[in-house]
Chains A and B, each alone.
Chain A
Amino acid sequence: KAGVTQTPRYLIKTRGQQVTLSCSPISGHRSVSWYQQTPGQGLQFLFEYFSETQRNKGNFPGRFSGRQFSNSRSEMNVSTLELGDSALYLCASSFSPDQRNTIYFGEGSWLTVV
């Protein structure tokens, strides 16, 4: 079956713009989480959604937001982009938020802010 699909894979934005990234989880998975990966800070948790509800949020400013739709697809949005937002954004899905379930990651969306 298809894995976690993230679009777009690569994008370049200018400071001050906003960006929306999309994630389609594995079929049947209802839990989606987002992570930011940078060389300096490593992998950091952004948010977690389950059944269209945000269950958990990492320590990021309010410029970072997300949502989940009824079909479990998720989007994250970053407004007023800063150079430091340049990163690989990874989406992950699992059957439910139970940590015993295997979490599957997508290939990520590479965001460059210039």
Chain B
Amino acid sequence: AQSVTQLDSQVPVFEEAPVELRCNYSSSVSVYLFWYVQYPNQGLQLLLKYLSGSTLVKGINGFEAEFNKSQTSFHLRKPSVHISDTAEYFCAVSNYGGSQGNLIFGKGTKLSVKP
């Protein structure tokens, strides 16, 4: 069985500061990895995904994430955050090459950017 742990439920940060949202996963098989963002009263929007290849993945809105297989981590980073980045962020995994298309999500990290 797979699981995803987001180590911080809330992350407060000042505008223009760097931020890292941490994600660890557990799986007995290879996985695909995803980060989604959810703004208030909205659905989920894909920020970036790791399928294979380069372990550093760049996404939308200036976010990037690094896949570390040995540490089973997929941390999300942004060098300088904006007020508009205030949202909840979800890390997710799915089975590599499996027949099941569902995502397994972490509990989410609420990013609060203060002026």
The answer to whether B105 touches A4 (Cβ under 8 A) is: no
Q: Which of A30-73 contact B (CB under 8 A)?
A: 31, 33, 35, 42-45, 48, 50, 55-56, 58
Pick from B42, B100, B103, B107: contact of A103, CB under 8 Å = B103
Name the A residues within 8 Å of B46 (CB-CB): 102-104
Q: Count A-side interface residues using an 8 Å CB cutoff.
A: 27
Pick from B51, B99, B104: contact of A45, CB under 8 Å = B104
Name the B residues within 8 Å of A105 (CB-CB): 36, 43-45
Name the A residues within 8 Å of B99 (CB-CB): 55-56, 97
Measured CB to CB, the closest approach of chain A to B110, in angstroms, equals 11
Q: A42-B106, A43-B90, A99-B94 are in contact. Are A48 and B101 (CB under 8 A)?
A: yes
Interface residues on B, range: 20 to 34
CB 8 Å contact bits of B68-112 with A (1 = contact, 0 = none): 000000000000000000000010101110111111111110000
- Does B63 have its Cβ within 8 Å of any Cβ on chain A? no
The answer to whether B43 touches A56 (Cβ under 8 A) is: no
**Interface secondary structure of A, over-half rule:** strand
Measured CB to CB, the closest approach of chain B to A72, in angstroms, equals 14
For the A-B complex, the count of residue pairs with Cβ-Cβ distances under 8 Å equals 63
Q: How far is the CA of A106 from the CA of B42 in the complex (A)?
A: 8
Name the A residues within 8 Å of B96 (CB-CB): 99
Chain A minimum-CB-distance residue to B104:
A45
The answer to whether A56 touches B102 (Cβ under 8 A) is: yes
CB 8 Å contact bits of A2-30 with B (1 = contact, 0 = none): 00100000000000000000000000000
Interface residues of B, Cβ cutoff 8 Å to A: 32, 36, 41-46, 49, 51, 90, 92, 94-96, 98-108
Interface residues of A, Cβ cutoff 8 Å to B: 4, 31, 33, 35, 42-45, 48, 50, 55-56, 58, 90, 92, 94, 97-100, 102-108
